[in-house]
Amino acid sequence: MSTRILGAGAFSPRWILAGVMTLSVAIAQTPPREPRVHDPSQIIQEGADHWFFCTGMGVNAYHSRDLTTWERGRPVFSEMPAWHREVVPTQKGHLWAPDVIRVGDRFYLYYSVSSFGVNTSAIGLATSPTLDPAAEDYRWKDEGIVIQSRKTDDFNTIDPSVFRDEDGGRLWMAFGSFWSGIKLIELNPETGKRVSPEMPPIAIAWKNAIEAPALYKHDGWYYLFVNWGICCRGADSTYEIRVGRSRSVTGPYLDRDDVDMMKGGGTLFLATEGRMIGPGHVGIFSENGHDWLGFHYYDREAKGMPAYGMRALTWSADGWPEAGALHETNFHSVAP
pLDDT at position 6 is: 33
Lowest-confidence segment of 19-28, 56-65, 76-85, 249-258 by average pLDDT:
19-28
Quote the pLDDT of residue 4: 31
Active-site positions read 39, 211
Rounded CA gap, 86 and 96, in Å? 17
Which of 127-131, 145-149, 209-213, 324-328 bottoms out in mean pLDDT, i.e. has the lowest?
Answer: 324-328
CATH number for the segment(s) 8-327: 2.115.10.20
Say what the pLDDT of residue 11 is.
Answer: 36
C-alpha 5/C-alpha 153 separation (Å) is: 11
Nearest to 27 by CA among 303, 328, 315, 310: 303
Q: Is the pLDDT of residue 239 over 60?
A: yes
pLDDT of res. 331: 83
Per domain, the residue ranges of the chain are: 8-327
When pLDDT is averaged across residues 103-127 and rounded to a whole number, the result is 93
Per-residue confidence (pLDDT) for residue 212, from 0 to 100: 96
Is the pLDDT confidence value at 17 over 50? Answer: no
The answer on pLDDT for 16 being more than 50 is no
Within a 10 A sphere around the Cβ of 46, how many other Cβ atoms? 14
Q: How confident is the model over 45-64, as a mean pLDDT?
A: 96
pTM, 2 dp: 0.89
Per-residue pLDDT at 159: 96
Taking a C-beta distance cutoff of 8 angstroms, is the pair 209, 168 a contact? Answer: no
**C-alpha 26: how far from chain center:** 24
Q: Helix-strand-coil percent breakdown of the chain, rounded to 5?
A: 10, 45, 50
Element (H, E) at 230: none
**pLDDT above 80 (res 119):** yes
